[in-house]
Amino acid sequence: MNIALIAHDKKKEDMINFSIAYSHILQEHHLYATGTTGKLISKATGLNIHRFMSGPLGGDQQIGAMIASNEMDMVIFFRDPLTAQPHEPDVSALMRLCDVYHIPLATNIAASEIFIHGLERGDLKWREIIKEKRQKEGNA
Active site residue 60: yes
Please measure the distance between the N-terminal and C-terminal CA atoms of the chain and give it in whole angstroms: 24
Residue 46 one-letter amino acid = G
- Which of 14, 60, 73, 99 is catalytic? The answer is 60
DSSP the chain: -EEEEEE-GGGHHHHHHHHHHTHHHHTTSEEEE-HHHHHHHHHHH---EEE---GGGTHHHHHHHHHHTT---EEEEE--TTS--TTHHHHHHHHHHHHHTT--EE-SHHHHHHHHHHHHHTTTTHHHHHHHHHHHHHH-
As annotated, the active-site residues are 60
